[in-house]
Chain A
Amino acid sequence: MQNAWQIHFTRKNALESGHSSRVLVYGMCGRMCFMRDVWQRCFFRDFCYGGMRGIGMVVIMLFPILFPLIAGFFLLVMKEPKNRNVLVGIAGAALGIAGGSAVYALCRVRGQDAILFSLSKALPVYLKPDSLGILFAAVVTVVWVLAGFYSFSYMAPGQGERKEGEKRFYGFYLMVFGVLVGLCFSGNLITFYIFYEWMTLLSLPLVLHTRSREAVMAGLKYLFYSFCGAYMALLGLYFLYRYGRTLTFTAGGVLDETLVAGREGLLLVLALFMLLGFGVKAGMFPLHAWLPAAHPVAPAPASAVLSAIIVKAGVLGTVRVVYYMFGADFLRGTWVQTVWMVLALVTVFMGSMLAYRENVLKKRLAYSTVSQVSYILFGLSLLQPEAAEGALLHVVFHAFIKCGLFLAAGVMIHKTGKTRVDELRGIGKEMPVTVWCYTFASLALIGIPPASGFISKWYLAQGALRSGIPVFSWLGPVVLLVSALLTAGYLLPVTMRGFFPGTGYLKPEQEEGRRAVFFSVKKEASPLMLVPLMVLAVLAVALGIFPNPLTACIAEIVAGIV
């Protein structure tokens, strides 16, 4: 990739020094050459003649990124339709097209690449979906589409939400999808960073949705933690730019040994900074405080995607930085790895404890996310193939499970208005399908075989034991086990009290003089909400029973990087 601009100037300087008589001739056509070079530099040259087979592939790759952005923007600026069905129709069609095009792109784009334009020297905005990116993008697409269709029912007015807010919600929801696909497709760190920042900004309105004081405070907290994290990541980027051969994601790392020699200490500090920076999004201790504040205040579908997907962007960032920029070998056995393992384990335990002690259901689930995402980070921190496989498996499983749990919680809150776990007694009698879905997802998250969580935790424990790292090789599995018990402790009470409310349950309603006949007061939600929920519950269990295609795919990814 040569720099047309520089060529232009060197050519001109040569002309001036060598053949002064031709300067005038050159001056005449120079202006045109100048403009053409600028134009090519900005858009077309790399775009057309980069590593792409043709413009068609660029369109396939860009469509799932740009279409949701444009459609979301259109929804934001569009006039409020009189009939709500029109709005839902447009948003649904857009979501369907975006999801469909993303699936199509995922099947086609592996190994392709495209440079879109350059920010500055050697900093091109560059897309190159590899297997890892495609895996993440696939998870994003499934979760996003399911939660999106769920939201069409959840966001229906009548819940005290104004219609104008609904349009805004769909608009930003779509835009974040486009940005996330871009994030997964990013081929270098600067592109990743751009999409990462925009993901934060565009998901902010989802957190702020209700505009209550609590939501605004949570939103600001989200924003500042995220900016802090992003700046820490950016700090690392500056140095990688200097000490690396390239910023393009390369399996095994990009550090230039000759430049790095003697500066390992500095780079290790920076690696820790980047880990902490991306750890903000992933809710890693000590910068996790925004997560339990921001996730629960959003509407349920938004909480679901925030907890299931947005946190995974932090995980993806961590994978990219550790395995594709610094390289696993650079970090193995260093103090940074130790610190990282400690932080991840502390978060696993602390998140579970906090979830266990929390009474508000959505907050409990948010703390559970804090804990579960650090399972993934712990797996990555071992820098060991099985553990990394377990981590990536847990990325997929946790996305489906946590999305399912939040959607189930959303149904309960939507229909009953009850937000606290102790108020939800007898909920299983009122909405059995929802609570069964919730239960399956819970069992998967706890890791009871044959549900999916078991597989990932098995790999994680195996990896830890085989890693041979002193203390952590046994401490890790122990903490995971304790945390799994706590997970059972905080998730299952909803099911247990839901189906077995106990003797005291009938009393209040009898006192009010109403005949309490449970089976006649079913409050089951609309199919639009139940179907996504059931799909996710089925996925949570089925992926545990038939994990082979997924494990094979992940094993291939891991084989390339560890």
Chain B
Amino acid sequence: MAGQMEFVQNFPCFSIMLCMFAGIISSALKGKAAKWINTAVLCANILMSAAVLLFAVDKGGYYVYVMGQFPAPWGNELRVGVLEAGMALFFCVIMLLSLMGGRHKLIQEVKEGKHGLYYILTDLMLSSLLALIYTNDLFTAYVFVEINTISACGLIMIRQNGRTIEAAVRYMIMSLLGSGLFLMGLCMLYDLTGHLLMSNIEGKVREIYLAGTGSSYHIPLLITIAVISVGLAIKSALFPFHAWLPDAYGYSTVSSAAILSSLVSKGYIFLLFKIIYRVIGFEVFHDSKIVNILFIFSLMGMIFGSLSAIKENDVRRMIAFSSIAQIGYIYMGIGMGTQAGMVAAVFHVLSHAATKSLLFIAAIGLTDVSGGSRKLTELTGSGYRNKIAGVAFMVGSLSMVGVPLFSGFISKLLFSQAAVQNEGKMLPTLIVLGISTILNAIYFMKTVIRIYTPVGETEYFGVTWRENKGYAAALVCFMALNVMLGVFSQPIVDLIGVGLDSFSA
């Protein structure tokens, strides 16, 4: 895509910069102004990402955007294709809806003076997510990984009670361990290849790998791949590294929980996709057997996450544990080591992001009409007290269980189709997928039946959607998004396929 550059091609860079500057400006402003700036930035980003997506779909392939004056081996680059633009658009939409749906809780739960700070943190979060999506430079990725971590910690502990501070400290420790490993891997890669730009590294990595086991760099390379994968796995809460997750998602304010579960972990997973395709190379990654380890962890996560969720009596923590299982699904797609598995994994990133944030936000509506209690026993009949939240929770649950016409079913279908084509991993995948489906059904359907079980006498009052229109609108949009992913999945799956092709090109 050489030749004259079109104006649209500047948008990725603009959107990252816009978020950062919005954060900086907001720090000098009051909470209310910060909120408006944040919303405006999100809307602008949605428009810009959509424009970039249309451009990328039109042109096919990808383009490289050089930052500053230095050309390839030294300079910094963004790389934009269909998948990147689509993901950026999707992330912005989810973030906007999550903030919209959790705004009333933010006002209740967070001190007046800290609202401005909250929006600054979300601006920073968005900028880091966009940078992780677009960047073509490993070190830039690392920098934004750290920015992401810091803003995520802020988002967790901005609602100040004991549990969130503990959760934030836990998150900080685990997360820093993850980014530490990532940094180590990055340094080793730099050492091995002498490059930091992703596309340059890939060629060198292949050279080293092809040199075979005799080469003295072979084992360091394997260790590097392992260290990077594990680092990012910790950050995205893959099964044995998930200890930070339930508290962080369970006790923070609801917008934070939605953003953390559906975007932050997904940002790291997207970075991992990128590293697999562009830094290490798909074949090398596949041959390195690290995929098998990720695969095993993911299967364990799918089962143990669901088992923990079944045992849980706190609805928010239950949804959080279900995230562990769902992250397991995504890593299962990666672990299959095939293109079809990757497509399924990317689709599940979208599907899970749309569903999990819906569930978090719907759950808050249900707990609000149950005296603020999050115990499942108190939620009995809450589906009648807050109708829209009840319906939304049901839609989210059905999607998680994998009922047709919702997004979860398509994920399940794609994973299974990928599994059927993969002789070695077919059986474990299908069996665990089956067990996990049943386990999901157990805790989600149990909850849905509970919220629709009428109680005779109750001291809790119901609310109608008119009392909080923004909340209702967010839920309706989330549900529509879910059904759209579930029914019109074919164009989306095709786009993911095209995106992945140009991703590795």
Contacts and interface: CB of A to CB of B under 8 A. Distances in A.
A211 B403 contact: no
A192 to B, nearest CB: 10
A44 interface: no
Interface size range of chain B in the complex: 35 or more
Contacts of A104: none
A70 interface: no
B430 A120 contact: no
B415 to A, nearest CB: 10
* Chain B interface, >50% SS class: helix
B220 interface: no
A120 B437 contact: no
B58 A194 contact: no
A6 B449 contact: no
Nearest to A165: B454
A13 B498 CA distance: 12
A496 B430 CA distance: 53
Among A117, A234, A235, the one with the most B-chain Cβ atoms within 10 Å of its Cβ is A234
Contacts of A23: 59
Contacts of B473: none
A9 B438 contact: no
A5 B488 contact: no
A41 interface: yes
A38 B441 contact: no
A120 B421 contact: no
What is the size category of the interface that chain A forms with chain B?
Answer: 35 or more
B446 interface: yes
Interface stretch (B23-31, B240-248, B293-301, B489-497): B489-497
Nearest to B441: A227
Contacts of A499: none
A68 to B, nearest CB: 17
B60 interface: yes
B417 A224 contact: no
A312 to B, nearest CB: 20
A121 B434 CA distance: 23
Interface in A183-234: 193-194, 197-198, 201, 208, 211, 216, 219-220, 223-224, 227-228, 231-232, 234
Given A12-B60, A224-B438, A118 B445 contact: no
Contact of B413 (A123, A231, A232): A123
A108 interface: no
B57 interface: yes
A546 interface: no
Contact of A6 (B413, B417, B437, B494): B494
Contact of A27 (B58, B413, B420, B438): B58
Contacts of B414: 120
Contact of B449 (A9, A119, A120, A208): A208
Contacts of B410: 119-120
A22 B416 CA distance: 41
Interface in B429-480: 430, 434, 437-438, 441-442, 445-446, 449, 453-454
Given A30-B58, A42-B488, A121 B403 contact: no
Given A34-B58, A118-B490, A231-B437, A220 B417 contact: no
B436 to A, nearest CB: 10
Nearest to A124: B490
Given A197-B403, A227-B441, A5 B491 contact: yes
Contacts of A193: 404
A38 B405 contact: no
Contacts of A19: none
Chain A interface, >50% SS class: helix
B438 A119 contact: no
B445 A220 contact: yes
Contacts of B405: 194, 198
Contacts of B453: 211, 216
A216 B449 contact: yes
A335 interface: no
B197 interface: no
A219 B58 contact: no
B198 interface: no
Interface of B: 54, 57-60, 398, 401, 403-405, 410, 412-414, 416-417, 419-421, 430, 434, 437-438, 441-442, 445-446, 449, 453-454, 487-491, 493-494, 498
22 contacts: A5-B491, A12-B60, A16-B59, A119-B489, A120-B414, A121-B493, A194-B405, A197-B404, A198-B404, A201-B398, A211-B453, A223-B441, A223-B445, A224-B438, A227-B441, A231-B434, A231-B437, A235-B416, A238-B417, A238-B419, A239-B420, A241-B417
Interface of A: 5-6, 9, 12-13, 16, 23, 26-27, 30-31, 34, 38, 41-42, 117-121, 123, 193-194, 197-198, 201, 208, 211, 216, 219-220, 223-224, 227-228, 231-232, 234-235, 238-239, 241-242
